[in-house]
Amino acid sequence: MTDAKYAPAPAEPPPSYETAAHAKPPPPSRLPLPLNLPLINSLRDRRVILASASPRRKQLLAQIGLTKLEIKPSTLPENLSKSLDPFDYVLQTATQKAMHVYSSELNNAELGEPAVVLAADTIVVSISGKVLEKPRSEADHIAMLKMLRNSGYHRVFTAVVAMAPLASAQHPGYAKESTVEETTVRFGRDISDEMLLAYVRTREGADKAGGYAIQGVGAILVERIEGSWDNVVGLPLRATLGLIEKVLDQSDEDEDEDEDEDEDQ
């Protein structure tokens, strides 16, 4: 007979998928000191817009010192055909987000034009080439994770697009740079169904394409990755910084040329 002193407390039922998908993320831990880089410092008091509601992307950018982000997610429907090549699908989706938010904020009478607009899109692609959505139910979630475990590996693509206005009216009026990063993720083949069920019931992966969070408890499912870790989280930071630097350099060069033309007149 089990001693009542050590009897396990009855577990609370996990929240529904609708509730879990809209739950607020836990507060971030104390951020490190920002990077003392000219690029980061130049953006301290300028409008940097993240065209995404993802708290994970916001936190990744905050970790390098971009803490004063304006969060303005695109409201365009993400309805591109899943028959597109994953590279094209994720890049077109991120580009649409960037263009939509950039266009809506360019003539902001109160705040002025943005210094840079960042947009990103992340997809998880099965070994058969299927783009995986967020799980719709517990049964769907379990089936998704079993498939990822049994298939051996899957791929995560993140497209990032950066846009900055040009001082001149030269067509198209903005600088735009983009990149698509790919990371291969392998789940452990020895992960038990019991572990998958236990993870599913944490609901951590309920609001994530592919059904898991590598930056959280979902790390226990991952045996190894090939590529950048933060790409799987949702934003490859090194590549993103490179894009920001490129569009701002183009914007600054355009402004210098515009000033030179004014002096020559």
pLDDT by residue for the chain (265 residues), tens only, comes to 445 454 455 567 787 887 776 776 666 566 667 788 899 999 988 999 999 999 999 999 998 999 899 999 999 988 888 889 999 999 999 999 999 999 999 988 899 899 999 999 999 999 999 999 899 999 999 999 999 999 989 999 999 999 999 987 677 899 999 999 999 999 999 999 999 999 999 999 999 999 999 999 999 999 999 999 999 999 999 999 999 999 999 987 776 665 555 555 5
Q: What is the pLDDT of residue 170?
A: 78
Q: Pick the closest to residue 107 from 174, 176, 53 (CA basis).
A: 174
Compute the distance between CA of residue 244 and CA of residue 236 in angstroms, rounded to an integer. 12
Compute the distance between CA of residue 258 and CA of residue 165 in angstroms, rounded to an integer. 13
Tell me the pairing of strands 116-125 and 153-165.
Answer: antiparallel
Please confirm, yes or no, whether 140 is among the known catalytic residues: no
Tokens 């236990």, located at residue: 198
Backbone angles phi, psi at 176, to 5 degrees: -140, 130
Q: Write the burial class of residue 212 (CB in 10 Å: 0-12 exposed, 13-18 middle, 19+ buried).
A: buried
Q: What is the pLDDT of residue 2?
A: 47
Q: What is the pLDDT of residue 35?
A: 81
Strand partners, 119: 161
Quick check: bond before 55 cis, omega within 30?
no
Catalytic member of 121, 207, 252, 256: 121
Backbone angles phi, psi at 178, to 5 degrees: -145, 160
Q: Say what the pTM is.
A: 0.83
pLDDT in tens, 52-69: 999 999 999 998 999 899
The amino acid at residue 21 is: A
Compute the distance between CA of residue 163 and CA of residue 161 in angstroms, rounded to an integer. 7
- CB 257, CB 265: distance < 8 Å: no
What's the angle, vertex CA 69, arms to CA 65 and CA 75, rounded to 5?
Answer: 145
Quick check: bond before 34 cis, omega within 30?
no
